[in-house]
Amino acid sequence: MTSRRDKHGNHARGRRWTAALATLTVAGLCGLAVGHISSVAASVTLPGSTFEGGDGNLVVSTPGDTDWQNVAGLNTGIDLPSGSGDNAFGQGTKEDNASVTVVNGSIPPNKSDLSRFYEASEFANGSNFLYLAWERSNVLGSANMDFEINQHPTSGLTGSFSGAINLNRTAGDLLVTYDFTNGGSTPVLGLLRWVTSGPTSQCFSSSSLPCWGNHMDLNSTDSQGAINTTTVTDPISSQSLPASTFGEAAINLTAAGVFPSGTCQAFGSAFLKSRSSTSFSAEVKDFVAPIPVSISNCGTITIHKVTQNGDGVFNYSTTGGLSPASFTLSNGGTQSYTKVPAGNYTVSEGSTANWTLQNLVCGTVTGTGTSATISGSTVSITMSGGGNVECTYTNHTKLSPTVATKLSASSVSIGTTVNDTATLSGATSGAGGTLTYTVFSDSKCSLNQQDAGTVTVTNGSVPNSNGIQFNHAGTFYWQAVYSGDADNNGATSKCTDEQLVVNPNTTAMTTTPNVIPNDSATISGATSGAGGTLTFSLFGPTDSSCSGTPVYTETQNVGNGTTTYATTNSTYHASGAGTWRWQVSYSGDGDNKPTTSSCGVEQFTLVAG
C-alpha cells in the first residue's frame, strides 16, 4: 500500500493494485527487447478491452490487441520545449484553484518535467474505456500526475502564454490522479469530479466549493496502469524513453461510475499536470496544454441532405425525445444530435412537391448494440452508449424543360421539302431521351398527322427532323414532343407556334385557236346543166399569195342543177395564229369556162390568247 494525503493533508492509505495474473517487475523484464514486454493478455488488458494499458510500453505485445502504436482515435498533447520558454503554473497553485497564474521558466529538477501525453477512448462491449499516458524528460523515481478532463476547453494555455487565467471547469468534470513511488511499476490511480454545489464534505482536500471531490480510488476491477521499468521506444515520436519516464493507464469509466447506465455525458478537452508530491494539496507545477478529445457515453445521430437537379426545403420529424423534434434541411445541410442517450428513435422525411426520395443510406452505424433500419423515408434507430449513426437523404427532382422549334421555311410552294429543328431549354446538360416531330393539318394537332421522324437526344442536343415534301396547298402545323428522361420531364411544343403555309400554284391562260374550217361557193353564169369539178383550197398564214401547197383541199363534182357547194371538212383543224385564206377553182366543162376566186377573198384570222 502507498500513502497519500486525505482532505486534511494527512497521509491516507491509498490502494496500490497489481494487474491480475501477472506482476510486472524489473526482474521480469530482463532479457527482453527494449520497448517490448511479453505478457499474458489478461494481465495487461481490462475485461472487454483489447488495449494493453498495463504493460508499461507503447507497442502491441499480443497479436490482436491494441496499444499506443495502433489505438484508434489517438490524441496527442505536446509540451513546450524545456527551458526559459516553457511554462508552468505559478507558485502555490493547487488543484482546487480555478483561477491560476501561468509563469515561464524551467521546472525544478526534482519535479516532473512533462514532455507529452496521449489520450484515446472507445465504447466496447457495453462500457466506455479511457486510455491515458504521460511522458517526462527527466528521470525521477516518483511521479505525481493529474489528467484534467473537462467538458469544455480552456483557451489561453497554449503557446508561451504567461499571466492570470481561469480554468474552464464545469460541474462533473474529471480529474484522474496518477501517483507512483520510486522503484514501483504500478501506479495508484484515483478519480475525482468537479463539485460546485452540495455539502463541502464532498471535497477531497478543501473546505469550500467549488472543489475536486467525490474521490474514489480506482482498482483492478475498473482500471490498470504501469510505468516503464526499462527503456522503451515511443513509436509515435520515435523517442527512446528511459525507465520511469513513461506511464500509462486504462480505465473502465462505466465500471467506475463515471457513466452510469441511462445517463449521457461527454468530455471534449484534456490536459496533463504534475504535482510536487503525492499529497493532493501539493503545488501543481508543469503542464501540457489542453487538447481536444471526445470521451462520451452519448450517442450521436447525424442527418445529411443531398439534392439532385436543384434545391428545396425538406421537413423532418423525429420521435424518442430528440431536440429539436423537427427540423428542415436543404442541399448540403446537416442536422446533428449529440449527447443522445441509449434508446429508440426515428427520423422521418416529409413529402415535398416535385421531389422524390432517391436514396436513404445510413453509411455509418457504429457501437455495439446500435442499429439503423430503413423503411421508406423513415430510419428507425436503436442507440447504445457511445453509438454513432450517420444517414444521408438524397432527393431527386426532374427539371421541366421547354421545346423551341424553327422550320426551315414558313411559306412554300407545292412540292417543296421542309424540315424542322428543335432546341431544349432548361434541361440538364446530359439530357437524353427522344424527340418526335409530327405534322398536322389542324391547329389542335389532331388531324391527318404525318410523321417527320423520331430522333435521339444526346447531352441536350436535338437532331433535325426528316424532310417532308408537301404536294398539296394548305396550312400545316408542326409539333415537337420530347420524351424526357430520368432527370427531365417531357415537353411538347405549342401546336400553333409553328405554322407552314403551302401556297396554291399561280395559273395563267394561254389560248391557241383551234377551228375546223369549211367554205362554200356559188357558181354563177354557168349553163343549167353545167358540169366539171369545184376545188376548195385552204392556205395557211404563211402563204398569203395562195401559191404554195394548200393545207387542205376538197373537190366536189358540179352538176344536177346545183349552183352552191360547201365543204364537208370534219377532221382538219386550223390551229395556228394568223390569217387563213380560201381559194376556190371551177374546172369548167364544154359549155362553161373554168374560173378561180382571188386568193384571200375568203379568209379568217386566228388570234392566240
| DSSP string over 312-348 | --EEEEEESS-SSSEEEE-TT-EEEEEEE-SEEEEEE
Q: Give the strand pairing for 564-566 and 578-586.
A: unpaired
Model pLDDT, residue 226: 95
d(CA 156, CA 160): 9
pLDDT at position 341 is 87
Q: Where are the beta strands (DSSP E) in 415-472?
A: 416-418, 420-425, 434-440, 450-456, 468-470
- Residue 321 in contact with residue 361, Cβ under 8 Å? no
Q: Using omega within 30 degrees of 0 as the cis cutoff, is the peptide bond preceding 210 cis? A: yes
**Which of 180-184, 331-335, 378-382 is predicted least confidently?**
180-184
**CB neighbour list of residue 42: distance below 8 Å, 6 or more residues apart:** 20, 21, 22
Lowest mean pLDDT among 33-42, 235-244, 360-369, 499-508: 33-42
Q: What is the DSSP letter of 491?
A: E
Q: What stretch of H or E contains 134?
A: strand 127-136
The three state secondary structure string of 501-526 is EEECCCCCCCCCCCECCCCEEECCCC
Q: How far is CA 225 from CA 13, 39, 247, 249, 259, in A?
A: 18, 14, 7, 4, 20
Exposure string of 274-297, with b = 16+ CB inside 10 Å and e = fewer, is bbbebbbbbbbbbbbbbbebbbbb
Positive or negative, the Cα torsion across 61, 62, 63, 66? negative
Q: What is the pLDDT of residues 112-148, one digit of tens each?
A: 999 999 999 988 887 889 999 999 999 888 889 999 9
pLDDT value at residue 261: 67
For residues 450-471, average pLDDT: 97
Q: Are 342 and 127 in contact (CB under 8 A)?
A: no
How many Å apart are CA 122 and CA 139, to the nearest integer?
A: 31
Residue 315 φ/ψ, nearest 5 degrees: -100, 140
Give the least confident one: 12-21, 35-44, 189-198, 281-290.
12-21
Query: What pLDDT is stored for residue 127 in this prediction?
Result: 85
Q: Which of 177, 227, 208 is nearest to 57 (CA)?
A: 227
Give every CB contact of residue 262 below 8 A, 6+ residues apart in sequence.
341, 342
Residue 597 to residue 583: CA distance in whole angstroms:
6
Whether the pTM exceeds 0.75: the reply is no
Return d(Cα 58, Cα 55) in angstroms, integer: 8
In order of 113, 242, 375, 466, 525, the CA distances from 228 in angstroms are: 17, 8, 53, 87, 171
pLDDT digits (tens, 9 = 90+) for 540-595: 999 999 999 999 999 999 988 888 999 999 999 988 889 999 999 999 998 899 99
Average pLDDT over the chain reads 89
Q: What integer is the mean pLDDT of 32-55? A: 64
Rg (CA), the chain: 57
Q: Decide which of 590 and 170 is more confident.
A: 170
pLDDT band at residue 606 under the 50/70/90 scheme: confident
Is residue 585 within 8 Å of 535, Cβ to Cβ? yes
Residue 183 has pLDDT above 80, yes or no: no
Q: Are strands 343-349 and 314-319 parallel, antiparallel or unpaired?
A: antiparallel
Cell 463539485: give the residue: 195
Q: What is the pLDDT of residue 3?
A: 36
Strand 552-557 relative to strand 533-539: parallel, antiparallel, unpaired?
antiparallel
User: Residue 268 — pLDDT band, cuts 50, 70, 90?
Assistant: very high
How confident is the model at residue 262, as a pLDDT? 67
pLDDT-derived band at 343, boundaries 50, 70, 90: confident
The pLDDT assigned to 30 comes to 29
**Dihedral sign, Cα of residue 130, residue 135, residue 136, residue 140:** positive
CA distances from 405 to 203, 324, 428, 496, 608 (A): 85, 51, 18, 11, 50
Which pLDDT score, from 0 to 100, does residue 43 have?
A: 66
Rounded CA separation 290/152 (Å) = 10
**Residue of 299, 274, 292, 270 whose CA lies nearest to 284:** 274
Name the one residue in this structure whose C-alpha cell is 383551234: 514
Backbone angles phi, psi at 404, to 5 degrees: -105, 135
Strand, helix or coil for residue 91: coil
Distance CA 387, CA 22 (A): 33
pLDDT of residue 609: 66
Residue 545's CB: how many other CB atoms inside 10 A?
Answer: 10
Strand partners, 357: 395
Phi and psi, residue 532, nearest 5°: 95, -160
CA distance 353 to 61: 60
The predicted model gives 340-349 an average pLDDT of: 93
pLDDT at residue 141, rounded to an integer: 85
CA-to-CA separations, 438 to 74, 402, 460, in angstroms, rounded: 69, 17, 20
Which is it for strands 299-308 and 388-396: parallel, antiparallel or unpaired?
A: parallel
- At 473 the three-state DSSP class reads coil
Give the tens place of pLDDT for each residue, 236-257.
999 999 999 999 999 999 999 9
pLDDT band at 33 (very low <50, low <70, confident <90, very high): very low
The confidence score (pLDDT) of residue 225 equals 96
